[in-house]
Structure 1
């Protein structure tokens, strides 16, 4: 097994969030892109404004690295129209994968028709342009019952509206890594939550993001059945090194 082909190397902080200049943040993004190229990871996950930068570096290096970006990140409360507009810009910049944040607050308010329509329309946009689509459900904001229900909602929307050949291109993803929990509990992927997601997403694939910080954790996630792992510690995980990263 090549663990690097499971790893989406991730850098999603803004300059403001890191308390650094935009120039310094761009330097970090460039380093992350170049590392992902040299380490031959599956994908680099970056904010939309850096897609073109990544694509240029990949072309120069003749690399097979994929580029993913986040849509309506990190809260997911924008309208379906605005989500699609942001996604289309990323598509026009030649992104490979779109990670939408689902409106989990609307889901919790039981606005299910709205959420279902959002899943269908945004997924349709991605698949029609041959992009992989992932839906971030933000498990730290949900209880176990809600994790089961929102995962099943996404699965049922896909099964009801798309061809079986497309199922493997629509993921359910655990976390943004930016949600702030009230009690200091984990804000990323946990083994218990991932088990629930895998059980209720099938036949859709699952991505574990946030909280996977060691080679052992990554292997355990893969053994559970996840197909991708989002982490800012991809190199450390691949080399079985210790990381202090918060994502």
Structure 2
């Protein structure tokens, strides 16, 4: 895939616990220069929307563990929308899912979906789930009306895996995130069925792509 085409598939990301506004501006500048999207912390969305109005802004909800109260997740979504976010990446409640409370998980996700008109990607944190649980998570996301499912927060022991992307793409479009650091990594995920790549190495990925 050529560089210009690949750029639109990348969410250039900065979400570390020490992320500053300076870090965020760097990612926004790189995203704007290379025509990528950006995924940034919620606290910087309002500033980012003014600073880089032409960059598609994703932000995270219930990040990174997903254990926020459902009402708090809904409010996070509303605030992100008001601040100027274009997309929401919401972390599933893994504990609820593992306790077989799939109805509760679906209801919570549906509440976030209903809270704003923004597209919602559901982060299922594949490294923590069995294959059966991955299927259950994707089913809940699909039933809740989510737009995409996303592999990882980047804070678990591992990130995106080709087999997981293949499984998840049976349900919804997939964002492969976590450990995707090169053009070859990105293409492996896209070939497996991913439609979006989440990576802090967006520039490096594009530099490896043919022009």
Compute the TM-score of the two structures, normalised by the length of structure 1: 0.80
Superposed displacement of residue 117, structure 1: 0.6
- Structure 1 vs Structure 2 CA RMSD: 1.5
Q: Which runs of 4+ in 1 moved over 6 A?
A: none
Task: Say whether residues 1:45 and 2:45 are aligned partners.
Answer: no
Structure 2: which 5+ residue stretches go unaligned?
none
Give the counterpart of 2:111 among 118, 121, 135: 121
Give the counterpart of 1:171 among 138, 143, 148: 148
Structure 1: which 5+ residue stretches go unaligned?
19-24, 159-168, 182-186, 242-247
Task: Say whether residues 1:232 and 2:203 are aligned partners.
Answer: no
CA contact 2:88–2:119 (8 Å) conserved in 1:
yes
Instruction: Return the structure number with greater relative CO, CA threshold 8 A, min gap 6.
Output: 2
1:55-74 matches, within 5 Å, as: 55-59=49-53, 63=54, 65-74=55-64
SS in 2 for 1:227: strand
Task: Say whether residues 1:143 and 2:130 are aligned partners.
Answer: yes
Superposed displacement of residue 123, structure 1: 1.0
Tell me the distance in 1 between the aligned counterparts of 2:76 and 2:185: 33
Tell me the distance in 2 between the aligned counterparts of 1:89 and 1:48: 9
Instruction: Choose 1 or 2 for highest CA Rg.
Output: 1
Superposed displacement of residue 157, structure 1: 3.2
1:1-247 matches, within 5 Å, as: 1=1, 2-15=5-18, 25-41=20-36, 43-59=37-53, 63=54, 65-126=55-116, 129=117, 131-158=118-145, 170-179=147-156, 181=157, 187-199=158-170, 201=171, 204-240=172-208
Tell me the distance in 2 between the aligned counterparts of 1:172 and 1:28: 26
CA contact 1:34–1:57 (8 Å) conserved in 2:
no
* Count of matched residue positions in the alignment of Structure 1 and Structure 2: 206
